[in-house]
């Protein structure tokens, strides 16, 4: 690399103040050449050294150069020692093989030579970032997310299009049976009945709301006269029975003030009534599903406070691949420097008109690398304490897993540990605040399919504050009560391509894994409906809409306060300039 090129990169990574010092520039060039480093790698080395010793990121000056050289030499010596040890082991193995060769008449094997020259570490960005950045980045952020061990990643990257009918049926039955256990414990029910069996006394049934085949293909919406319940094979041989609601039908155990219950294809319901032999189940009471455990108030801790920016793709308009909305957001981020940046795909949208027409100058992988990975790495140099979270979309052409639930993007895209790749959907926590995120437009799909039935309330739960009863809150509450990021089955006929639902792996859609888990403090549900942020029961639900519509969300969490996390969170829906 020429000296002029070195100077430009030093100015870009270290700043104009460093580039203006000719002596310091010569020292930087000498270190890069002596230790075979790129200027960016040298910056990471300097940041790691300064943060580990002073817990700050001061400007590089001549007085720090000896310390930086000492660190580089120490790392080189340690690397050479490891290499020497490995070489010695190879020599022993070769000598042993040579001895065996003589004894058995085989030819002599060559002996490995030791390496006395410095190890050429090369400008491999991922190796440098993995070993260094984790030493100083994220001091304010404690992140807990999905397991990233090889087996967990392999389980999420399952083979699709190999789904068997028996596997789908078993997964659907398991979901009904799991809710039946919850309902039985919550309402102290001795046993459940078969909805198809005629009885004179009232019985309790649990099943899934379904559409008949004619309605599902015609696109007709569910209504009161078309409600059908399907039991599991264990409780009712999987039979489907029409259900009838009357003006006297009541709802038990719901949140006071909601005043009704939602029905949609795939919803699990518990009903009390009887089948008088008329070919339908007459509903006397709708039993509200048991609520998820309420989270405990986080401890008051000033160090737990953090800021967050949430942006959802598409990140460029449908007519081009210039990513102007994304560029505008980056300009804002450089000024605000949030502690956490959550980006939800699609990043390279397969439905973009340019991509569908094949009008590309680069491969989709290279487009993702240049527009996101490289720009995020540059941003992280300017904001080194930011943690970036990336959640893919079904429409991401760079993802080789185009079904839902969807595994994370390949970690080979970047070696920076500050950039975390998460599956879709995912649960994670930041400084004790739990999040649930998906890129599928579940709210819009529910809005299209939901039928809300009002009923008289019996034994309602008294909320601490007045519950939200608007349409968006009702849709979000369905996701929470059904304990699934996508509780609809089957997906709407005209929207099925947006979700590519893999029913056999629907355990990956669970909002909570067990009864001991709590409702997420924050639910991020982006979609085409109007942007909003609302408190629904104990969760803050956010729809930032799409960045191409000019909106994104900012969040601030106050750690030093009392009460639940929802009371310490402030959400703003902002517009890009």
Q: What is the CATH number of the domain that holds 312?
A: 3.60.21.60
- Pair (33, 149) in one structural domain: no
Residue 327 located in a structural domain:
yes
Does the pLDDT at position 214 exceed 60? no
pLDDT tens digits, one per residue of 457-472: 999 998 888 888 899 9
Does the pLDDT at position 64 exceed 80? yes
Can you tell me the mean pLDDT for 172-196? Answer: 95
pLDDT tens digits, one per residue of 4-53: 888 888 888 888 888 888 889 888 988 988 888 888 888 888 888 876 77
Q: How high is the pLDDT of residue 278? A: 80
Q: How high is the pLDDT of residue 104? A: 36
Which domain does 557 fall in, by range?
Answer: 143-162+294-440+503-575
Residue 51 located in a structural domain:
yes
- Pair (149, 18) in one structural domain: no
The least confident of 20-24, 87-91, 343-347, 439-443 is 87-91
Rounded distance, CA 318 to CA 354, Å?
8
Residue 176 located in a structural domain:
no
Can you tell me the mean pLDDT for 355-380? Answer: 92
Q: How high is the pLDDT of residue 535? A: 96
Rounded distance, CA 200 to CA 275, Å?
8
Residue 124 located in a structural domain:
no
Which of the four pLDDT bands, split at 50, 70 and 90, describes residue 123? very low
Task: Beginning with the edge strand found earlier in the chain, give each strand of the sheet holding 522-524 in spatial order.
Answer: 143-144, 426-430, 433-437, 522-524, 539-543, 532-536
- DSSP code for 496: G
Does the pLDDT at position 175 exceed 80? yes
Helix 39-54 crosses helix 65-104 at what angle (to 10 degrees)?
110
Rounded distance, CA 251 to CA 270, Å?
10
Q: How high is the pLDDT of residue 75? A: 82
- Pair (315, 397) in one structural domain: yes
- Pair (556, 408) in one structural domain: yes
pLDDT tens digits, one per residue of 278-320: 889 999 999 999 999 999 999 999 999 999 999 999 999 999 9
Cis-peptide, bond into residue 442, ω within 30° of zero: no
Rounded distance, CA 136 to CA 133, Å?
6
Percentage of the chain modeled with pLDDT above 70: 87
Nearest residue to 348 (alpha-carbon basis) of 380, 394, 310: 394
Using an 8 Å Cβ cutoff, are 140 and 301 in contact?
no
- Pair (154, 303) in one structural domain: yes
Domain boundary among 21, 48, 74: 74
Domain boundary among 40, 74, 108: 74
Residue 315 located in a structural domain:
yes
The least confident of 251-255, 319-323, 397-401, 462-466 is 462-466
Q: How high is the pLDDT of residue 246? A: 94
- Pair (434, 534) in one structural domain: yes
User: E strands of 362-473, at which residues?
Assistant: 387-391, 419-421, 426-430, 433-437, 451-454, 456-458
Residue 131 located in a structural domain:
no
- Pair (46, 156) in one structural domain: no
What pTM did the predictor assign? 0.77
Q: How high is the pLDDT of residue 20? A: 87
Cis-peptide, bond into residue 490, ω within 30° of zero: yes
Using an 8 Å Cβ cutoff, are 338 and 309 in contact?
yes
- Pair (403, 536) in one structural domain: yes
Which of the four pLDDT bands, split at 50, 70 and 90, describes residue 78? confident
Residue 460 located in a structural domain:
no
Number of Cβ within a 10 Å radius of residue 111: 13
Return phi, psi of residue 388, to 5°: -110, 130
Specify which of 2-6, 99-103, 416-420, 533-537 reaches the highest per-range mean pLDDT.
533-537
The least confident of 73-87, 178-192, 218-232 is 73-87
Rounded distance, CA 450 to CA 416, Å?
43
Domain boundary among 21, 45, 74: 74
Does the pLDDT at position 84 exceed 90? no
Nearest residue to 504 (alpha-carbon basis) of 357, 405, 368, 359: 405
- Pair (22, 155) in one structural domain: no
- Pair (525, 383) in one structural domain: yes
- Pair (7, 156) in one structural domain: no
What is the separation of C-alpha 438 from the centre of its chain, rounded to a whole number of angstroms?
A: 6
b/e burial code for range 527-550 (CB count within 10 A of at least 16 → b): bebebbbbbbbbbbbbbbbbbbbe
- Pair (37, 148) in one structural domain: no
Residue 513 located in a structural domain:
yes
Number of domains the chain is built from: 2
First-to-last C-alpha distance (Å) of the chain: 38
């Amino acid at each position: 690399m020429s000296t002029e090129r070195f100077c430009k990169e030093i100015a870009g990574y270290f700043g104009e103040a460093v580039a203006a010092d000719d002596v310091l520039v010569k020292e930087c060039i000498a270190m890069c050449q002596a230790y075979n480093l790129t200027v960016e790698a040298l910056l990471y080395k300097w940041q790691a050294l300064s943060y580990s010793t002073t817990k700050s990121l001061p400007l590089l000056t001549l007085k720090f150069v000896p310390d930086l050289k000492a660190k580089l030499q120490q790392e080189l010596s340690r690397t050479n020692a490891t290499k020497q040890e490995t070489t010695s082991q190879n020599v022993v193995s070769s000598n042993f093989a040579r001895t065996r060769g003589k004894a058995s008449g085989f030819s002599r094997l060559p002996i490995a030579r030791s390496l006395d020259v410095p190890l050429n570490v090369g400008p491999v960005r991922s190796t440098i970032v993995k070993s260094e950045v984790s030493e100083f980045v994220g001091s304010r952020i404690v992140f807990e997310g999905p397991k990233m061990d090889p087996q967990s990643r392999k389980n999420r990257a399952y083979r699709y299009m190999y789904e068997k009918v028996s596997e789908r049926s078993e997964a659907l039955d398991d979901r009904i049976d799991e809710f039946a256990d919850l309902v039985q414990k919550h309402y102290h029910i001795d046993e459940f009945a078969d909805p198809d069996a005629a009885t004179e006394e009232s019985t309790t049934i649990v099943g899934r709301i379904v559409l008949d085949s004619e309605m599902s293909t015609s696109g007709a919406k569910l209504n009161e006269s078309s409600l059908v319940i399907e039991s599991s094979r264990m409780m009712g041989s999987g039979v489907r029975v029409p259900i009838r609601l009357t003006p006297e039908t009541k709802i038990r155990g719901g949140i006071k003030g909601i005043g009704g219950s939602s029905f949609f294809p795939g919803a699990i319901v518990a009903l009390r009534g009887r089948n008088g032999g008329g070919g339908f189940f007459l509903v006397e009471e709708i039993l509200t599903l048991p609520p998820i455990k309420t989270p405990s108030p986080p401890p008051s801790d000033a160090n737990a406070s953090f800021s967050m920016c949430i942006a959802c793709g598409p990140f460029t308009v449908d007519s081009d691949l210039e990513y102007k909305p994304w560029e505008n957001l980056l300009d804002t981020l450089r000024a605000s420097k949030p502690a956490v940046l959550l980006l939800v795909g699609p990043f390279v949208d397969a439905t973009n008109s340019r991509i569908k027409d094949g009008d590309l100058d680069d491969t989709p992988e290279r487009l993702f690398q240049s527009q996101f990975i490289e720009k995020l790495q540059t941003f992280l140099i300017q904001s080194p304490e930011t943690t970036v979270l990336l959640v893919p979309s079904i429409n991401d052409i760079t993802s080789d897993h185009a079904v839902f639930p969807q595994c994370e993007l390949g970690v080979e895209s970047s070696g920076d540990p500050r950039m975390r790749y998460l599956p879709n959907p995912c649960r994670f926590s930041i400084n004790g605040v739990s999040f649930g995120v998906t890129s599928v437009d579940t709210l819009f799909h529910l809005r299209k399919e939901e039928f809300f039935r009002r009923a008289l309330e019996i034994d309602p739960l008294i909320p601490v504050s007045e519950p939200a009863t608007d349409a968006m809150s009702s849709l979000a509450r369905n996701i929470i009560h059904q304990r699934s990021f996508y509780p609809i089955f089957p997906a709407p006929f005209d929207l099925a391509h947006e979700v590519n639902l893999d029913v056999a792996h629907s355990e990956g859609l669970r909002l909570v894994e067990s009864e001991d888990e709590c409702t997420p403090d924050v639910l991020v549900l982006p979609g085409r409906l109007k942007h909003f942020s609302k408190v629904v029961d104990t969760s803050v639900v956010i729809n930032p809409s799409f960045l191409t519509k000019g909106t994104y969300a900012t969040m601030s969490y106050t750690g030093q306060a009392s009460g639940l996390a929802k009371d310490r969170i402030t959400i703003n829906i902002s517009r890009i300039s």
